[in-house]
């Protein structure tokens, strides 16, 4: 059979080739157009956008945290310092696998669960390319291990920063307070721009009250870095403004004398200079090491402090509200003299108990269980203060009434915060008929006035309030808001003046003489303090009941649990002719004023003589 032979069709092949060539050229031109369009966009229309993004990868704005202001005592002794410390941080954008990096770091140095938890929280609220701290206070060995492994840890940064340090630990724990890591609530409340690069903030005490002054102003620097985030050079730098230094009225000698005199007992000591209003000592025992809180206290350490029966975190000096007991009697005496209800010659019969008209109940004097009778057949103001005669002040309280007592006692600072420059101060209670009606919805009873007249019942005061009241006495009515800070960067800070308490000079002197007899008189309740004393001290003892005692029951301290025993109180100022120090002391469950009075002697001896007696 014949075979069909297919002949080449050059025209057809030429058309196909031409079509393919045109298509290829069209595709190439289209691709070239896309490239040129994209190139135009990159180089012309979107140049600034991509240039900025490129610079962000190459140039970073880093915050420069300011140096926190230092804190000194009145003699220039450093109380709050800043010490160099190395911090391990991570820049999230520089880390490809965060979990793997954290695992690698845990293999190189100890990282606690708390460290990881804090890191994750800070990671959620950071800014782009901001280093997030993971570990503080790296040791030299830990820094060496990180340096050796640096090549396999992109995004891991070790920086040197200044961290707060308290060289005297627990000695000033309640006076200074402390700084701590910024928590989630604080991060929301604080101005983010002011705290960039800063990990700590004042938590309590002077550190918190003066936070704005101590903190300073954040600086910044532009740095050029490589692809791994390592800084190559600094392009621009604006130095931070350091925080202001504070000088306090506190005297480390008096602070130490008070702590040593209190020993292992629970209590508080506050000393004030009546001339300036400066707080010379503010002690609450037991204290705690404030350094534990700077970088986050461990759960074990915090639990030990939180669960302790002695509540070391509780600042008794400004938060403890105690019945002031007989320490209010000098102020009550002034109220009686100024109101005209008594004179220095007025006397009251003292059988050892007092009875309200028409009431069968007997309000006992403390001396009754000792002598079986009163202080004397008749008692005047001098003896009433010197020997702490309850009967005299029962009668005075009844005649004054609770509302007039409130009126006369308020100017001494009772019933309201003193305004001292620290945090968490409480106001105490100075009762009145209105106070009880509003607080409890009840009427006031005459028997409650009797208790209030000797600083019991509803009356509550902080040691700071007692010290202020003693200062008002010592200065003959000059009222100044207590101040811890004496100067800021060398500029003096004056204590705010309050309206003075105006009274007759002879009335002040009459009360002074009664308080002098407390220490220097033959029958004074603190006469044992006068042995070897080199100055005249005006004082007043006080005892505050912790548990109620039935009318006919006898209080036997040896049969009462230690935490149910009476509190011991003492107030004093010296030297009497020109007072320069006023003190208030409370010893919880000390059994009576004999536990507190020697502490006052130790504090005042240190202030006036340079050593404890």
The answer, yes or no, to whether residue 489 has pLDDT greater than 60, is yes
Q: What is the mean pLDDT of residues 132-152?
A: 86
Strand ranges inside 432-514, DSSP E = 479-480, 485-488, 491-492, 497-498
- 73: pLDDT strictly greater than 60: yes
Q: b/e string for 571-595 if b means 16 or more Cβ within 10 A?
A: bbbbebeebbbbbbbbbbbbbbbbb
Comparing 119-133, 456-470, 588-602, the range with the smallest average pLDDT is: 119-133
What would the mean pLDDT of 477-488 be, rounded to a whole number?
97
Tokens of 296: 């986050």
* DSSP SS3 for 499: coil
| Chain segment 410-426, per-residue pLDDT in tens | 999 999 999 999 999 99
Cβ atoms of 599 and 261 within 8 Å: the answer is yes
> Which tokens hold the place of 260?
């040593």
Q: How confident is the model at residue 296 (pLDDT cuts 50, 70, 90)?
A: confident
For the cut 80, the answer to whether the pLDDT of residue 388 exceeds it is yes
Identify which has the larger pLDDT, 311 or 182.
311
Residue range 389-409: mean pLDDT, rounded: 97
pTM of the model: 0.84
Confidence of residue 53 (pLDDT cuts 50, 70, 90): low
- Output the pLDDT for position 613: 40
Is pLDDT of 520 > 90?
yes
Strands, E, within 366-489: which ranges?
Answer: 378-379, 479-480, 485-488
Which member of 89, 326, 388, 593 is catalytic? 326
Write the DSSP symbol of residue 60: E
**Cis check: omega of the bond before 575, within 30 degrees of 0:** yes
Class of domain 252-292+314-609: alpha beta
**Would you give the end-to-end CA distance of the chain in angstroms?**
143
Greater model confidence, 300 or 467:
467
What kind and span of H or E run contains 453?
none
What's the pLDDT score for residue 42?
A: 73
Q: Is the pLDDT of residue 515 over 70?
A: yes
Helices (H), 313-432: 316-319, 329-339, 368-371, 381-386, 390-400, 402-409
Helix, strand, coil shares of the chain, percent, nearest 5, are 40, 20, 40
Catalytic annotation present for 326: yes
Residue of higher predicted confidence among 489 and 98: 489
**Nearest-angstrom CA–CA distance, 601 and 519:** 10
pLDDT exceeds 50 at position 477: yes
Q: What's the mean per-residue pLDDT of the chain? A: 89
Most confident of 58-72, 218-232, 252-266: 252-266
pLDDT at 182 > cutoff 60:
yes
Whether CATH 3.90.1310.10 fits 60-225+233-248: yes
Residue 149, both tokens:
């492994």
Break the chain into its structural domains and give their ranges.
60-225+233-248, 252-292+314-609
pLDDT above 50: residue 194 = yes
Strand 71-72 with 246-248, pairing: parallel
Residue 135: count other Cβ atoms within 10 Å of its Cβ: 22
Task: Give the Cα-Cα-Cα angle 377, 383, 387 (nearest 5 degrees).
Answer: 100
pLDDT in tens, 523-558: 999 999 999 999 999 999 999 887 555 445 554 555
291, 279, 527, 194: which is closest to 386 by C-alpha?
Answer: 527
Cis, bond preceding 286 (omega within 30 deg of 0): yes
């Amino acid at each position: 059979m014949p075979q069909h032979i297919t002949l080449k069709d050059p025209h057809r092949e030429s058309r196909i080739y031409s079509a393919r060539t045109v298509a290829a050229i069209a595709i190439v031109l289209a691709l070239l157009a896309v490239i040129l369009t994209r190139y135009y966009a990159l180089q012309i229309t979107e140049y600034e956008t991509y240039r900025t993004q490129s610079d962000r990868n190459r140039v970073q704005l880093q915050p420069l945290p300011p140096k926190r202001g230092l804190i000194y005592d009145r003699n220039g002794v450093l109380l709050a310092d800043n010490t160099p410390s190395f911090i391990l941080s991570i820049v999230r954008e520089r880390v490809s696998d965060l979990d793997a990096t954290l695992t690698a770091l845990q293999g190189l140095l100890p990282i606690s669960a708390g460290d990881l938890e804090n890191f994750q929280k800070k990671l959620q609220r950071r800014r782009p390319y901001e280093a997030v701290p993971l570990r503080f206070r790296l040791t030299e060995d830990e820094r060496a291990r990180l340096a050796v492994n640096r090549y396999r840890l992109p995004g891991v940064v070790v920086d040197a920063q200044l961290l707060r340090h308290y060289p005297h630990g627990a000695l000033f724990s309640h006076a200074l307070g402390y700084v701590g890591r910024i928590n989630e609530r604080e991060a929301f409340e604080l101005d983010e721009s002011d705290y960039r690069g800063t990990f700590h903030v004042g938590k309590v005490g002077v550190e918190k009250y003066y936070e704005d002054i101590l903190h300073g102003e954040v600086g910044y620097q532009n740095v050029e870095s490589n692809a791994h985030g390592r800084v190559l050079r600094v392009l621009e730098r604006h130095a931070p403004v350091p925080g202001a230094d504070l000088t306090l009225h506190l005297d480390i000698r008096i602070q130490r004398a008070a702590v040593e005199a209190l020993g292992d007992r629970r209590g508080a000591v506050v000393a004030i200079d009546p001339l300036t209003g400066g707080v010379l000592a503010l002690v609450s025992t037991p204290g705690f090491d404030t350094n534990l809180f700077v970088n986050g206290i461990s759960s074990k350490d915090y639990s030990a402090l939180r669960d302790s029966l002695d509540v070391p975190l509780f600042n008794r000096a400004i938060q403890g509200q105690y019945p002031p007991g007989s320490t209010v009697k000098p102020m009550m005496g002034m109220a009686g003299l100024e109101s005209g209800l008594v004179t220095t010659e007025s006397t009251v019969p003292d059988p050892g108990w007092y009875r309200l008209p028409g009431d069968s109940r007997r309000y006992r004097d403390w001396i009754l269980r000792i002598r079986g009778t009163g202080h004397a057949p008749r008692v005047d103001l001098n003896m009433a203060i010197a020997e702490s005669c309850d009967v005299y002040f029962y009668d005075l309280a009844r005649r004054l009434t609770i509302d007039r007592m409130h009126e006369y006692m308020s100017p001494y600072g009772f019933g309201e915060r003193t305004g001292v420059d620290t945090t968490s101060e409480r106001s105490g209670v100075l009762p009145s008929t209105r106070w009880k009606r509003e607080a409890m919805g009840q009427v006031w009873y005459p028997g409650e006035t009797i208790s209030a007249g000797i600083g019991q019942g509803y009356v509550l005061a902080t040691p700071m309030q007692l010290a202020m009241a003693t200062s008002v006495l010592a200065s003959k009515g000059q009222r100044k808001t207590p101040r811890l800070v004496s100067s800021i960067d060398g500029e003096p800070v004056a204590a705010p003046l309050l309206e003075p308490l105006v009274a007759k000079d002879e009335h002040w002197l009459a009360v002074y003489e009664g308080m002098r007899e407390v220490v220097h008189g033959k029958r004074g309740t603190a006469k044992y303090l006068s042995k070897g004393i080199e100055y005249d001290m005006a004082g007043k003892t006080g005892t505050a009941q912790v548990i109620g005692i039935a009318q006919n029951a006898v209080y036997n301290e040896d049969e009462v649990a230690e935490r149910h025993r009476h509190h011991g109180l003492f107030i004093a100022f010296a030297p009497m002719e020109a007072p320069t120090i006023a003190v208030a002391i409370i010893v919880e469950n000390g059994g009576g004023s004999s536990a507190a009075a020697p502490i006052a002697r130790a504090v005042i001896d240190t202030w006036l003589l340079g050593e404890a007696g």
